[in-house]
Amino acid sequence: MTIQFNDETFRDDYTFHNSDWAIRRFPFPFHEDSYMYSVNMEQHRGGPAGSVYEKRFDVDEHYVSEMKDRAIVLAEDPLRCQSLPHMTLAGWDLLELIMVSKSEDYPDLFELHRDGNDWRWINRPLGIDDRFTFLDEATLPYGPMEYITRQTQGDFAVLDQRDENLWMDAGMVTTQADWSLDFDIGMNFFEWHAPVPLAHEMGIFKRALKFLLNVQQGNPARRLNWTMTVNPLLDTSPENYHKWGIQKTTLTPENIGSKQHLRVELQTFFRLPRSNALVFPIRCYMIALQDVVTVPKWGRRLHRVLRDVPVELATYKGFIGNRPLIVDYLSQFDDGLPTSDGIWPDLDTEPPLRKG
């Protein structure tokens, strides 16, 4: 397997771009022409070859540039990575899970050699070749969770399970959709989800917590979540809202196709073996509207979903002010034809856009 890594930026000049390959494998989050909250959990047991679901931790063309961006964020704000003292063992669990998964799933990119507790880790894309002693923090340049998540796409919330609840007691969070690890650290499942509208009244979080408390080792789960982002900015944190919030005012009918992005999170859940913690990777994927609509089914569906989604959800997801502009743009790519069920592009069976 050979991946051509992009040299791109997620800030300032925004040179981020998706290849045709990345567009076709994008995790489009809508399985039908409408949207409402649901638990929408399923087993994380792979997926079609080449899809973002195939491997345990997806590595794509954005990998190297995303890791550079993470390093920038951490240099500016070290509190984006935090671990309470009792979570160190969970950090080692996570390091092992990622190293084993990546070395097995991408043997051309990553190698793990183990002789008892003497480990050697090779990360070819980032030029890393380190030897260390497993469970000995002094042999790594960072704590185990920070060390491995500086080399892994997506955010990570590491959740301690106690008192029939999940507590966000550690994490690496630099690509989040407007939430703060520094604010949420130490909170339980219901506390950190408190700002979400409608879902509490629908009982979504009670059902989700019940499911997550019962995730077993070796049986990970996954779901998709989504929002909208102006410009391909990974770090849409509350701490930096003064930098990115203003960008919502820069959309015009002429630039919306390139500037407005659908932002999707592939959220997975793994039970860790020694600590019994639950790790919650949150992998962010972004795609410009002009790329979404190159898939006729997605162009039709996204128009219908964003047009009809309740005001409360459009407000929470941050695009209520620009919804008329977004919907008007997408309407050009919705000819009213029916769409097939499911999230896949169905390029071979979905009819092309009917003009006029």
The DSSP-derived string for 215-251 is: PPTT--EEEEEEEEEESS-S-B-GGGHHHHGGGGGG-
Domain presence at residue 114: no
Structural domain range at position 235: 20-41+49-83+155-331
Domain presence at residue 337: no
Residue 61 in this model has a pLDDT that exceeds 80: yes
Express as a percent the part of the chain with pLDDT over 70: 98
Domain presence at residue 100: no
Tell me, what's the pLDDT at 38? 78
Express as a percent the part of the chain with pLDDT over 90: 91
Residue 197 in this model has a pLDDT that exceeds 80: no
Count the residues in the chain: 356
List b or e across 241-279, with b for residues whose CB sees 16 or more CB atoms inside 10 angstroms.
eeebeeebeebeeeebbebbbbbbbbbbbbbbeebebbb
- What's the number of domains the chain is made of? 1
Q: How confident is the model at residue 39 (pLDDT cuts 50, 70, 90)?
A: confident
Mean pLDDT of all residues in 176-200:
87
Residue 166 in this model has a pLDDT that exceeds 80: yes
Residue 201 in this model has a pLDDT that exceeds 70: no
Q: How confident is the model at residue 4 (pLDDT cuts 50, 70, 90)?
A: very high
Residue 52 in this model has a pLDDT that exceeds 60: yes
| Distance (Å, whole) CA 270 – CA 220 | 5
Residue 230 in this model has a pLDDT that exceeds 70: yes
Tell me, what's the pLDDT at 279? 98
- Match 């990622």 to its residue by tokens: 98
Q: Which of 266, 270, 269 is nearest to 96 (CA)?
A: 270
Tell me, what's the pLDDT at 192? 87
- Return the active site residues: 223
Q: Which of 132, 51, 53, 42 is nearest to 95 (CA)?
A: 132
Domain presence at residue 62: yes
Q: Across 191-195, 272-276, 347-351, which has the greatest mean pLDDT?
A: 272-276
The structure's pTM equals: 0.95
Q: How confident is the model at residue 193 (pLDDT cuts 50, 70, 90)?
A: confident
